[in-house]
Amino acid sequence: LDLSSNILRDVTLNLQNSRLHTLFLARNKIHTLGDEFLAFAKSLRYLDLSYNKLGTINQSTFLTENYLEVLLLKGNPFICTCEIGSFIRWIYSNDVAIPRLATDVNCASPPNQHGNSIINIDLHACEMDTLAAAIFFK
């Protein structure tokens, strides 16, 4: 199903019991993906989300049971703060190919991360910041 270049802002598809294997959503204006967006997409193998307005992707969008084989994300203005950490952990824990992840799936902000790959975020520093805040406010 090709829904590319349709100026879509939101995507609310019910893919339960769907036999959809390929979904093209490239070159739209999608800002966010809802929780459990792909929860029932057991047939979906290829998802193109390139060149949208995604700043972050929540881990709950994809859940833990992954059926995707290829996920395209190039050209999104990712916000590379600690909030993107759950998605990065999802990337590492799933066997999904993300073409050009290290070179073309980049941070748009904050300024000190601009142009860096999203996988270069220091997750350990994020965990330490969270731990320090928990101890400080305890």
Angle between helices 85-93 and 123-136 (to 10 degrees): 130
Ranking 41-45, 57-61, 91-95, 120-124 by mean pLDDT, the lowest is 57-61
Q: Are 84 and 121 in contact (CB under 8 A)?
A: yes
For residues 138 and 52, give the distance between their C-alpha atoms in angstroms, rounded to a whole number: 40
* pLDDT of the residue at 31: 93
* pLDDT of the residue at 121: 87
pTM score:
0.86
Residue range 33-81, pLDDT digits in tens: 877 777 778 889 999 999 999 998 877 777 667 789 999 999 999 999 9
pLDDT at residue 137 tops 70: no
73 CB burial (10 A radius; 0-12, 13-18, 19+): buried
2 CB burial (10 A radius; 0-12, 13-18, 19+): exposed
* pLDDT of the residue at 103: 94
For residues 92 and 118, give the distance between their C-alpha atoms in angstroms, rounded to a whole number: 12
In sequence order, what E strands does the chain have? 22-24, 46-48, 70-72, 78-79, 107-109
Q: Are strands 107-109 and 22-24 parallel, antiparallel or unpaired?
A: unpaired
For residues 128 and 57, give the distance between their C-alpha atoms in angstroms, rounded to a whole number: 22
